[in-house]
């Protein structure tokens, strides 16, 4: 009888051991397809559902900058600090360009008379003149055409200027400033304002008025 008890106890122990292990095994089996193939949608969803927030060098969360960025069209009169302006230009300069040719230029406008002329060229968009700083982004088609021919002239130079302007805007936001992309302007009028400072083929791509938001 004692031996019988022993056997029953041993069987019960083995049964409990198997019962305790099986739910975990089932979970592992059902989770396996999600991680088995890197390209599987379930695996991608698993990776992206809980992403680590991307951070800038100074710890600023990129997500916060993207969330904060919006068009600011009303500005305080307060000047943009020189070091901030420098950081904004450095950010623009760090933007990628086709073949590293940087087929773009930036003109920094701070004087009121030129800003007033830019308002006119920008079809009367008054807020352009109210920003303490307006950055004018130019494509330099010949610089890209030199290596890439027609594609460089008509596309890459424009993209080089566009990416630089985007970087500048995001850096401005990261520094607590606001701005707005202005693309509606008379290209000839903008070119005329800066005629004496620019190369023959420079093309204005975007105006970026920057300052402290008054919204």
| Residues at the interface with ligand FMN (CB under 6 A) | 70-71, 73, 125, 180-184
Quick one: 34 or 106, whose CB is closer to ligand FMN?
106
165 class by beta-carbon count within 10 Å (0-12 exposed, 13-18 middle, 19+ buried): buried
DSSP label at residue 98: G
CB of 210 to ligand FMN, least distance (A): 14
Nearer to ligand FMN, 47 or 68 (CB): 68
- To the nearest whole angstrom, how small is the minimum distance from the Cβ of residue 137 to ligand FMN? 11
CA–CA distance, 92 with 34 (Å, rounded to integer): 40
Residue with smallest beta-carbon separation from ligand FMN: 183
Residue 34 or 189: the one with the smaller Cβ distance to ligand FMN is 189
- Residue with Cβ nearer ligand FMN (67 or 86): 67
Q: Minimal distance in Å, beta carbon 70 to ligand FMN?
A: 3
One DSSP character per residue, 51-109 reads PPPPB-TTS-BHHHHHHH--B---B-SPPPPHHHHHHHHHHHHTS--GGG---EEEEEE
Tell the smallest beta-carbon distance from residue 171 to ligand FMN (Å): 16
Decide whether 47 or 70 has the Cβ nearer to ligand FMN: 70
- Minimal distance, residue 202 CB to ligand FMN, in Å: 18
Separation of alpha carbons 159 and 161, rounded Å? 5
> How many helical (H) and strand (E) elements, i.e. helices and strands, does the chain have?
9, 4
Question: What does the alpha-carbon distance between residue 171 and residue 31 come to, in Å, rounded to a whole number?
Answer: 41
The number of angstroms, rounded, from the C-alpha of 97 to the middle of its chain's C-alpha atoms is 15
Q: What's the CA gap between 211 and 173, in Å, rounded?
A: 10
| Residue number, 29 or 155, with CB nearest to ligand FMN | 155
């Amino acid at each position: 009888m004692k031996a019988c008890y022993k056997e029953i106890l041993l069987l019960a122990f083995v049964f409990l051991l198997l019962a305790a292990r099986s739910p975990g095994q089932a979970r592992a089996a059902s989770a396996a397809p999600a991680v088995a193939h890197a390209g599987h949608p379930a695996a991608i969803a698993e990776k992206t559902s809980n992403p680590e927030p991307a951070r800038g060098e100074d710890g600023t969360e990129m997500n916060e900058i993207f969330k904060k960025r919006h068009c600011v069209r009303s500005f305080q009169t307060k000047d943009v600090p020189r070091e901030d302006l420098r950081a904004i230009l450095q950010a623009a300069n760090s933007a990628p360009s086709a073949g590293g040719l940087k087929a773009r230029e930036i003109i920094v406008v701070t004087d009121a008379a030129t800003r007033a002329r830019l308002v006119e060229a920008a079809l009367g968009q008054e807020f352009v003149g109210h920003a303490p700083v307006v950055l004018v982004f130019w494509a330099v088609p010949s610089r890209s055409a030199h290596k890439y021919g027609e594609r460089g002239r008509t596309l890459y130079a424009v993209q080089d200027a566009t990416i630089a302007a985007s970087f500048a805007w995001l850096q401005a936001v990261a520094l607590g400033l606001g701005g707005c992309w202005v693309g509606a302007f008379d290209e000839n009028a903008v070119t005329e304002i800066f005629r004496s400072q620019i190369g023959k083929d420079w093309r204005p791509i975007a105006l970026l008025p920057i300052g402290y938001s008054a919204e």
